[in-house]
Amino acid sequence: MNLELKQNIWNSDESGLGFYCVNIFECSEKNPVLKKLLKNEILKEKEFGPIKSMKKELKEPTDYYGSILLNKIDVSDFKALDFNSLNLELQEYWKDEDWGEDLPIFKKNFDLAISNLNKFELSNRNFYYINAEKIDSDKLTDPNFFTYLVCVISTQIESNKIITLTFGLD
């Protein structure tokens, strides 16, 4: 299976309190399963940011994506959700009492990221959600410099378009 990055959108809030990254891939297969996507490195550090600068900075492949150790995570670390359930999952996460002034930035970044996907039928897609706060600490870099890190991988039946959404604050 081949994955080709077709679009990379990166935005960091001017206050420095959060970022989002949207990557849109074309896959040689339609509707690949999550396990296969992970095996084929759908999450790569070189695509964790603005692609033009990341290619220059990273000379060798890494074994992490943000603070997530790629060789430690598997399908069971992700929640399979539809778009409505993804929204509910995030709304529940945003109720956490530990949020500070970065919460409005995360919410704004989520809305901005989703607005970049208007050509996709999000209600027809599958979403695989992982939250660095919800997985075992041995699956994270030490030290973990991220205040929060959420990643979503999205597929659709009969489609070879794969979307990754990443939100965080480091």
CATH number at residue 20: 3.40.1000
Residue 16's domain comprises 3-169
Count of the separate structural domains present in the chain = 1
Contacts of 167 (CB under 8 A, 6+ apart): 18, 19, 20, 106, 109, 110, 113, 148, 149, 150, 151
CB of 144 closer than 8 Å to CB of 62: no
CB of 42 closer than 8 Å to CB of 153: yes
- pTM of the shown model: 0.90
- The residue ranges of DSSP E strands in 28-160, in sequence order, are 64-65, 68-69, 79-81, 126-131, 148-155
- Residues 77 and 135: their CA atoms lie apart, in Å, by 7
- The pLDDT tens digits for 11-67 are 998 888 899 999 999 999 988 999 999 998 888 766 665 555 444 444 445 687 888
- Residues 131 and 168: their CA atoms lie apart, in Å, by 10
- The pLDDT tens digits for 120-159 are 999 999 999 999 999 999 999 888 888 999 999 999 988 9
